[in-house]
Amino acid sequence: MRNLTHKTLFLALASVCALFLAGASSPNDREITDPRSINSLSNAAAAPVPIADLYYTRGVDGAAWSPDDRQIAFSTNLTGRMNIWKVASSGGWPIQLTQSDDRQFKPTWSPDGKWIVYMQDFGGGELWDLYAIPSGGGDAINLTNTPDISEVDPRWSPDGKRILFAMRPKDSSNYDIALLDWKSRRVRKLTHEHTNNREWGEAIWSPDGTTIYANRTNAGHTDSDVYSIDVAGAELENLTPHAGEINYSVSAVSPDGRTLLLTSNEKGGYDNVALLDLSTKKLQWATNLQWEAEGGSFAPDGKTFTYMVNADGRTDIYIATRANLRAERLSVPAGINFASAAPQAFSSSGDRLLVSHQSSTQPEDYWIYDLRGQQIRQLTFSALGGLDPARLPSSQLVHYRTFDGKTISAFLWLPFNLKRDLANPGVVIPHGGPTGQITDSFSKTALALASRGYVCIAPNVRGSTGYGMEFQKANYKDLGGGDLQDEVYAAKFLAATGFVDPQKIGITGGSYGGYMAMMAIGKTPDVWAAAVELYGITDWLTEQQHEEPTLQQYDQSLLGDPVKDREVYENASPIKYFKNAKAPLLVLQGANDIRDPSEEAEQAVTILKKEGKVVDAHYYPGEGHGFAKRENQIDALKRTVEWFDRYLKNQN
């Protein structure tokens, strides 16, 4: 796939709905999968994937075109740390621009091409600073240098004199929009949010630099508006006033400054793409789907724009004509595909499109699509040469009925050469969030386990995104209730395939997935034989005391008020059920986690030990929420596999 050329790379569609001819047209049309229809393929070359190889396979993030279209800046952990690199857009070996032990993201070029600004973390604590480095190489400059304030998502003004970003003091739950003067380094706030459960973000410039468009969102991500902000006077105008809870978000402004590209779930609670005329404030809908559509960017000539459609965990890219909204789908391999870059996915000349692609057997990489020659070319190469996709177990999309009749989507990884003898171990992998989604991505955990004989399933339980707002809200004040039962029914699905021994099923996940693992072994103890939790929640009440303020508001959007709804918090906390646990638990935790602090892990270990349960823990210094350093990523996955080998395969 390194230089894949198609005679016709774009497939013209009579309508957007043609996307779904081979699958469900909406969440309501999903067909239930017969577990016995799942078959293990034969593969003589199958072997356990070396865990180190999975993490020496690199990651990429946050690409940006240079103003002259000749280079792409991006973040990659080629050295084991997410630092800023650049590569010629024509291809070649990338050049490392920065070196740091800390994470660096969101590079963006100055309009004159001389500087790249990016955001940098410190020890996983998520108190980001903005940095600048000469695009040709040199010393990095800390532009903000504020240990108690987080600054994120930098964007240059069209004239290169100011940098737009979002900022949040350490003790605040509110991100606000601000400007940094490039010459003086002075910062001026444009918004002053005082409502605890609201924050500003995803801000973009108008083409003439006089106006900023930004989203104001509630903590639960169930209601948001798009505002215009006058740069000179900081006057605000709500462009999407509405009644009730509806999401509106902006992704791009047209080159003529007249139209915004929006994403909104106004149509029945499902995300769709629309154009907002700034003079009339009227919406013109580009999609009418019951999947999840997301706006992209406008072409430099303003005649076309991109958007993405996430249909059941797989994403396609569309290019639509602004005049008539007719859309064409980019013909790229199935998986997760996005056309998004800062500030736009199109090159400034408009002849190329920057695309990211990944699948269950291919890690994320950047590709460049030539609009004139109708050719797609891989730009970055993240996978190690030894990770042949043909030797990796690929995911399968399955659907099952849960306890109350709801349909649950899940990705399943079935090892090669497996006998249907009810003798194999299985693992359920809950996702984080809960407002998140398992997609058809390159899952290192699933690949490591499935290549070692574990049948893995990762379900999108109630509370997940991607299936409409009603489904997303279905676990409100019921965390660890219906959503946990959806995980239990995923375990039942594994057993029903005939491959998995129901007495050999484990569960592992991070963040909310870690919470689900702990909740599972305590509340449904007879289902699970082992568990590994990474940076999860033990007690929602103590979580409220220790986590950072933005996440406090998010938790309250799901559980209610911690005083008035104290019983809800208590009933949703794993700590209440630990006395019932039977499965051995491994706890893996970052010492500097501000989202699910180490106090949560420590009290889980202490209580389980007092109860006489089998529990072990490992803490990673200099890590936050999710492990960023390669050696810690490798170590955590090795510990996970060894734990399951010991308790699901009975290996010492």
pLDDT digits over 375-411, tens only? Answer: 889 999 999 988 999 999 999 999 999 999 999 999 9
Range of lowest pLDDT (6-20, 148-162, 297-311, 446-460): 6-20
In a domain, 480, yes or no: yes
pLDDT (mean) for 421-445? 97
| Residue 253 and residue 395 share a domain | no
pLDDT (mean) for 545-565? 94
Number of domains in the chain: 2
Give yes or no for residue 346 having a pLDDT over 60.
Answer: yes
| Residue 486 and residue 635 share a domain | yes
| Residue 404 and residue 367 share a domain | no
Give yes or no for residue 17 having a pLDDT over 70.
Answer: no
Do 306 and 353 touch, CB atoms closer than 8 A? Answer: yes
What are the residues facing 428 on neighbouring strands? 457, 507
| Residue 478 and residue 348 share a domain | no
Residue 286 exposure: Cα atoms within 13 Å on the Cβ side: 33
Q: Which pLDDT value is given to residue 341?
A: 84
Boundary (domain end) residue, out of 382, 408, 434: 382
Q: Which pLDDT value is given to residue 20?
A: 36
Please enumerate in sequence order all residues whose Cβ is within 8 A of that of 254, keeping only pairs 6 or more positions apart, or say none: 260, 261, 298, 302, 305, 322
Residue 556 three-state SS: helix
Q: Is the dihedral of CA 23, 25, 26, 31 positive or negative?
A: negative
In a domain, 6, yes or no: no
What are the residues facing 595 on neighbouring strands? none
| Residue 309 and residue 265 share a domain | yes
| Residue 530 and residue 425 share a domain | yes
Residues 189-225: pLDDT tens digits?
Answer: 999 999 999 999 999 999 999 999 999 999 999 999 9
> What is the chain's mean pLDDT, rounded?
94
| Residue 568 and residue 519 share a domain | yes
Q: What is the CATH number of the domain that holds 341?
A: 2.120.10.30
CB burial class (10 A; 0-12, 13-18, 19+) of residue 92? Answer: exposed
| Residue 393 and residue 342 share a domain | no
**Claim: this prediction has a pTM higher than 0.75:** yes
pLDDT band for position 23 (cuts 50, 70, 90): low
Do 204 and 213 touch, CB atoms closer than 8 A? Answer: yes
Give yes or no for residue 578 having a pLDDT over 90.
Answer: yes
Domain, as residue range, for 250 = 239-382
Residues 99-123: pLDDT tens digits?
Answer: 999 999 999 999 999 999 999 999 9
Boundary (domain end) residue, out of 365, 382, 399: 382
Q: Which pLDDT value is given to residue 333?
A: 82
Q: Is the dihedral of CA 257, 258, 259, 260 positive or negative?
A: positive
Q: What is the CATH number of the domain that holds 439?
A: 3.40.50.1820
| Residue 485 and residue 615 share a domain | yes
